Structure 1
Amino acid sequence: MATETIPEADHPLDPLDPKAIERAYEILTDERDVGAESLCIKIELAEPSKEALEAYDEGGDVPDRRARIVIRNGSDRKTIEAVVSLEAESVVSWEHVEGAQPSIAIEEFIACEETVKANAEWQEAVERRGVENTDRAMVDPWSVGHEFVPEDVDRSKRLAHGLSFLRPSEEAGDEGYAKPLTGIHTFVDLDRMEVVKVLDYGPPDEDEPLPPTGMAYREDDVDLRDDLTPYNVDQPDGPSWSVDGRKLEWQGWHMRVGWTQREGLVLYDVGYEDDGEVRSIIDRASCAEMSVPYGTTDINDRFKNAMDVGEYNIGRLAKSLTNGCDCLGYMHYWDAVMNTAEGEPNVLENAICLHEEDNGTLWERSDWRTGSDEVRRRRRLVVSFVAAVGNYDYIFNWYFYQDASIEVEVRLTGIDSVSAVGPDEDPSGYGELVAPQLTGPIHQHFFNFRLDLNVDGGPNTLYRVENQQVPSGPDGLDPMGEADGRTHNPGGNAFYAKREKLTSEEQAKDLIDSLKGRYWQIENPTAENGLGKPTGYRLVPGDNVEAAMQSDSSVMKRSGFIEYHLWATPFREDERYPSGRYPNQHPGGAGLPKWTEADRNLEEEDLVCWYTLGVNHVTRPEDWPILPVQVYSFKLQPSNFFDESPAIDVPPQHAIEGQDVPGHGHGGCEADADDD
């Protein structure tokens, strides 16, 4: 069959374009019977192996361009994972993944809501709460997990757990979250798209089944402040970056910008240019999984544990970004090309945003003897995307700095997941009142970032570094060598940075300890800087929290990666997701907990670090109706990667702006006179 030629990709890691997605599905359906009622869950690039990429980088052949396709055959209740070669125009692998449930598609979300609202038993439950027009209801399909599925519902079915809310009108949207129809739980078989069970535990108060107040946050519904003046970011000469397709360069940084439906933004081949050579730091980086467990004992909320990457495809839930709203200044955008449930291309415009930000002072030195000073402004590059996951919105920012450090940041905003309570009920502890008769249950957010490190070309070795006290007196430890009879710590003030090599997967399982200043260092023992030290990067934690649930809970079984903040594994092509390939409805134990049972060697390896960033959310009325962003991050900092500060050559503002500055040594930062 004659087909339109698919344009060649600029690079083997570039995401599939619309024509490639369309052609991949044609090849699959021409060669294989996927079933009349099947859903195409995802079509995305089957990334080439590291060996193939290394050969390509050295001038070898372009790797075969392939697509990985996940199909849910609803009529046969089967999940199929196939790989299609676009070059050979053939199916190169076809696997029935026994017992697996792929992530829930957006089309299933929409059909699930319609199915629930058409169900007579659900309608009766809604009407018992005094609601005459059930068309005003909205239904959010939650993933069911595993252990919280009712005993008389077959767990092998493809299920969703519908929670219901009442909108103030049929046209209204998010405003419905102010009036949860608490107590109604609807379980839907997504393969057959039919309701299999409706549970109604009753409203928290029969006389007042719904919270009395609504929510207002849209521009036309709020009295806005009138004392803000415009703040504009102007770059008349354009940005400082260089973009060529998916290739990005800025201030020494080199990387490729990619995308998957499951993870959203993916960064490849992250390196830093030093004396004309691009030195590698990270081969591949992404947010590989999330887990959002709720801590209340209440029967209406205790089941909640969304795994937004693996269960929902967070990339598929990304939004189109807009200048002046999501970002300010001079922008560059990349579209995200995904697919519909029918296997057709779906282009999300402006899914990834690139811009520069002023970020305060980079470095400063003021000499009181001479009165001179030197000041440099810190600028950072931002690569970001935003995902709207039900009631929550998540902003993922990857910051790159002029001192060769990286900061990975998550901002949480949107609407709290809430339930109704009685007029006299105070859920304090397990939840907090955010509005009259409306509680936000206590919960946590965990984001696991997979960092396929490659510091200076590898191999890499992992160390834990933390403060170590020295006992007072002549018997104190001498960290620099053997005791020589001198008094080591007579004043009791001595401490040092203790380094412990973590040589196996079990040793590497670790929690943060900010009281000891704990961080982890990834070093290349085969490369040295000019001071004779192994080159490396530090992984430095920011705010974090320990998982609060019991070790035998369903949450810990299914989201085992949240038990530790740091995991490390030797690279394996098939170890990509910390809770396994198919976490939806999985009983647990897959992914990192399973892989690390082998306790494999980590010394001088192709090292992958998995960092779990945890957020504790005790709700408050100030979170309502919209949660002001909660900001959490961690950093990667060079350590002996250079011989001196890589930021020493950043020019002062007057040099950037082309101004002549009288005097000497002021760094172009004289105070401007007021225009009174």
Structure 2
Amino acid sequence: MFINDIHIDAKENMMSTATVTDPGRTDSVGPDHPLTPLTADEITAVREIVDAAGLLGEHTRFVFVALDEPAKDAVLAFRPGDPIERRARVLLLDRDTGHGANLIVSVTGRAVVERTTIDAASEGHVPILDQEFEDIESYLLDSSEWLEAMKARDIEPANVRAVPLSAGVFGHEDEVGHRIVRVLAFYQSDKADLPWAHPIDGVVAYVDLTERRVVKVIDEIELPVPAERGEWNAEPHATPTRTDLKPIEITQPEGPSFTVEGNQISWADWTFRFGFDVREGLTLHQLSLRDGDQVRPVIYRASIAEMVVPYADPSPVRYWQNYFDQGEYLFGRYTNALELGCDCLGDITYFDVTIADEDGNPRVMKNAICLHEEDYGVLWKHTDMFNDMAETRRSRRLVISFFLTIGNYDYGFYWHLYLDGTIELEAKATGIVFSSAYRGPDGFSTEMAPGLGAPFHQHLFSARLDMAVDGNRNVVTEVDAVPVPMGPENRWGNAFRQQKTPLRTESEAMRMADNSKARVWHITNPDKQNRLGQDVGYALHPEGQPALLADPKSSIAARAAFATKHLWVTKYDAAQRYPAGDYVNQNPGHDGLPAYVAADRNIDGEDVVLWHTFGLTHFPRPEDWPVMPVDYAGFKLKPVGFFDRNPALGVPSGPTKSHCCES
């Protein structure tokens, strides 16, 4: 990965400095840190090494190329000037056979050091290529069954837009070992027409990507194709642009408060590194806080490691509809080029990201990551009746984010760091709801426009949090607010207290949120105490929205088992990176977290990883059409006894009198 740092000042609405730095640069002395992202030159070298090993044929494609991160102990022991071996993980697909392979390539040693063939029947397939999607409409036009279905509906096949979707696993024996996608169709009358407004419901095609043909068409029912146009600026949606909103201008005359050195960012008391790959997107590494003369770790690695979007329509043409946008589609490759004043507002630093394309060549994604500061209202305030104290301090937060478009939906992921030590992840969902024909009020969709439905569904994310609260030996405790029964110690019935339940094994740590008890999970270090003798810690605050609503015996519950619990805790294992397993596409299920916790390892005072499920349960509203306003999901990590007192006491008053009211 190659990253450019471009600083932009919103006040001038132009690039304020012409300096472009390359934190992923490798030169004669090599990278400056083991987590330095892969450069374009290294990606090119990976391709050359794989080719020299005789592993590239005419139909071989690169599905995934990313830095193979060094072992944690090696990273923690690293000192500037130490030698660094550069490795990449690579997934290959032979399009002619459908066979996948997993490689570890040493860029330093110019060799393929590991090679594993993936058993598609038992392990699943590698993710789906863009090149595989691109040919789908031609397969439909070659299918007599498909053409007959369109003829029965009086639809011109050339005006049909194909939407190929991951197939899942539903006990169809003829699909085992085959790369299958299922294809839903939408009508587009002209280039400007929004196909999502015109679903051709009641029919679905099954396509074999290796054989490159339609293998089955299920034509359940002929339903009217909704006719109303769906573009946001077309009738009946066209709305005059407002003229009553005055400009909001955000400036930092002295520049931002953060510094960037390579892929390391420092802001206020925070220091961390960042990375990016096409499966997880933005990743954060070695988040630490400066506390006096100490630099204290909080999280070794944080990412959104998987997401699943299960739909609730049980009809014969849609029962299978659920997607793992990371494990099946590698959603990071669809990252948007962010725009100043639209995606990010203020004094902005953008970073380019270089990934590998499907031929193994480097491809630059411009302005993929946005870094900036935001004012965040009041940080702390008090006016006192006794000593005439009248103090206010304003909060601000550091924001590092990226946005992507995958099919109909757009997702933004925003990591926020606060002056009081809080860490927050905010996921934003917007775009266009996936549409269907509306089958009536007793069905499983909302009517969005005449005859147009939007099926009920969920967006469930899994955050992988490799915790390191003041060190790698941590304890996880569930903390509930519970009432104390009336009795001799609670005569008036007003008492309540914290109930703390240690989670000592992986089986004990499969937990559900409970907002009725204000449930949180404390991650503490038994070897480090604050000045009051309390173990230092952080608390994970869940939003507590529903986990997976599908039946526990369903296919999706087996394949997305991570989403059946709000919390899993595992003992750290570098190989355990993905909550639904390494190969999610057509994986039969029970991989990932269920397999990780099967040994029921001890997690009490160990190096632990928290896996937190959060997300949205979406019953679409008419107000979500034709473009959905942003909906939000996320979680917070807040210090609890990590500091001896409020860590934000040193924030100055201000910012300036010109921004405050004066009497």
Common fold by TM > 0.5: yes
Question: Alpha carbons of 1:62 and 1:623: their partners in 2 closer, same or farther (altered >3 Å)?
Answer: same
- The answer as to 2:248 corresponding to 1:228 is no
Q: Superposition pairs for residues 217-366 of structure 1, below 5 Å?
A: 217-218=232-233, 222-366=239-383
Q: Which residue of 1 aligns with 2:65?
A: 43
Q: Which residue of 1 aligns with 2:425?
A: 408
Range with greater deviation from structure 2 (224-233 or 392-401): 224-233
Q: Which residue of 1 aligns with 2:111?
A: 90
Q: Which residue of 1 aligns with 2:133?
A: 109
> Quick check: 2:460–2:547 contact (8 Å CA) kept in 1?
no
> Quick check: 1:413–1:628 contact (8 Å CA) kept in 2?
yes
- Aligned to 2:325, what secondary structure does the other structure show? coil
Aligned equivalent of 1:198, options 217, 227, 235: 217
- Of all paired residues, the percent bearing the same amino acid is 38
- 1:211-267 C-alpha deviation (Å, 9 max, x unpaired): 121112159954222211111211121111111121101111100010011000000
- Aligned to 2:470, what secondary structure does the other structure show? helix
C-alpha distance in structure 1 between counterparts of 2:389 and 2:606, whole Å: 48
- Aligned to 1:432, what secondary structure does the other structure show? strand
Q: Superposition pairs for residues 589-608 of structure 1, below 5 Å?
A: 589-608=590-609
Q: Which residue of 2 aligns with 1:131?
A: 155
Structure 1 segments (4+ residues) deviating >6 Å: none
C-alpha distance in structure 2 between counterparts of 1:168 and 1:645, whole Å: 61
C-alpha distance in structure 2 between counterparts of 1:60 and 1:574, whole Å: 27
C-alpha distance in structure 2 between counterparts of 1:93 and 1:274, whole Å: 42
- Aligned to 1:203, what secondary structure does the other structure show? coil
Aligned equivalent of 1:433, options 447, 451, 464: 447
Q: Aligned partner of 2:63: which letter?
A: I
- Aligned to 1:578, what secondary structure does the other structure show? coil
Structure 1: stretches of 5+ with no match in the other structure? 475-487, 662-667
C-alpha distance in structure 2 between counterparts of 1:312 and 1:223, whole Å: 38
Q: Which residue of 2 aligns with 1:162?
A: 183
Q: Superposition pairs for residues 523-562 of structure 1, below 5 Å?
A: 523-562=524-563
The structure whose Rg is larger is 1
Aligned equivalent of 1:144, options 167, 180, 196: 167
- The structural deviation recorded for 1:10 is 2.9
Q: Which residue of 2 aligns with 1:484?
A: none
- 1:324-368 C-alpha deviation (Å, 9 max, x unpaired): 111101111122211111111111111111111111111111124
C-alpha distance in structure 2 between counterparts of 1:444 and 1:361, whole Å: 34
Question: Alpha carbons of 1:378 and 1:118: their partners in 2 closer, same or farther (altered >3 Å)?
Answer: farther
> Quick check: 1:352–1:383 contact (8 Å CA) kept in 2?
yes
Q: Which residue of 2 aligns with 1:215?
A: 230
> Quick check: 1:568–1:610 contact (8 Å CA) kept in 2?
yes
Question: Alpha carbons of 1:219 and 1:640: their partners in 2 closer, same or farther (altered >3 Å)?
Answer: farther
Q: Aligned partner of 1:357: which letter?
A: E
Aligned equivalent of 2:77, options 47, 55, 67: 55
- The structural deviation recorded for 1:148 is 7.0
- The structural deviation recorded for 1:372 is 4.7
What TM-score does the superposition give when structure 2 sets the normalisation length? 0.92
C-alpha distance in structure 2 between counterparts of 1:18 and 1:538, whole Å: 39
Q: Which residue of 2 aligns with 1:477?
A: none
Structure 2: stretches of 5+ with no match in the other structure? 1-24
> Quick check: 1:392–1:414 contact (8 Å CA) kept in 2?
yes
- The structural deviation recorded for 1:543 is 4.5
Q: Which residue of 2 aligns with 1:565?
A: 566
- Aligned to 2:42, what secondary structure does the other structure show? helix
- 1:9-59 C-alpha deviation (Å, 9 max, x unpaired): 2321122111111110111111123332111101111111112212314x6
What TM-score does the superposition give when structure 1 sets the normalisation length? 0.90
C-alpha distance in structure 1 between counterparts of 2:203 and 2:421, whole Å: 52
- The structural deviation recorded for 1:60 is 7.4
C-alpha distance in structure 1 between counterparts of 2:437 and 2:528, whole Å: 60
Q: Which residue of 2 aligns with 1:664?
A: none
Question: Alpha carbons of 1:122 and 1:279: their partners in 2 closer, same or farther (altered >3 Å)?
Answer: same
- The structural deviation recorded for 1:532 is 1.2
> Quick check: 1:427–1:439 contact (8 Å CA) kept in 2?
no
- 1:253-283 C-alpha deviation (Å, 9 max, x unpaired): 1000100110000000111111132210111
Q: Which residue of 2 aligns with 1:613?
A: 614
- Aligned to 1:408, what secondary structure does the other structure show? strand
- 1:171-210 C-alpha deviation (Å, 9 max, x unpaired): 236x110001112212222223222222222322xxxx21
C-alpha distance in structure 1 between counterparts of 2:615 and 2:316, whole Å: 24
Give the number of aligned pairs: 632
C-alpha distance in structure 2 between counterparts of 1:96 and 1:344, whole Å: 23
Q: Aligned partner of 1:155: which letter?
A: V
- The structural deviation recorded for 1:137 is 2.1
Question: Alpha carbons of 1:33 and 1:473: their partners in 2 closer, same or farther (altered >3 Å)?
Answer: closer
C-alpha distance in structure 1 between counterparts of 2:653 and 2:118, whole Å: 58
Aligned equivalent of 1:184, options 196, 199, 203: 203
- 1:69-118 C-alpha deviation (Å, 9 max, x unpaired): 10011223311111111111111111112223111122222223443345
> Quick check: 1:216–1:222 contact (8 Å CA) kept in 2?
no
> Quick check: 1:289–1:449 contact (8 Å CA) kept in 2?
yes
- 1:611-637 C-alpha deviation (Å, 9 max, x unpaired): 000311111111111111111121000
Question: Alpha carbons of 1:127 and 1:237: their partners in 2 closer, same or farther (altered >3 Å)?
Answer: farther
Q: Which residue of 2 aligns with 1:670?
A: 661
Question: Alpha carbons of 1:14 and 1:60: their partners in 2 closer, same or farther (altered >3 Å)?
Answer: closer
Q: Aligned partner of 2:480: which letter?
A: E
C-alpha distance in structure 2 between counterparts of 1:551 and 1:600, whole Å: 24
> Quick check: 2:218–2:317 contact (8 Å CA) kept in 1?
no
- Aligned to 1:455, what secondary structure does the other structure show? coil
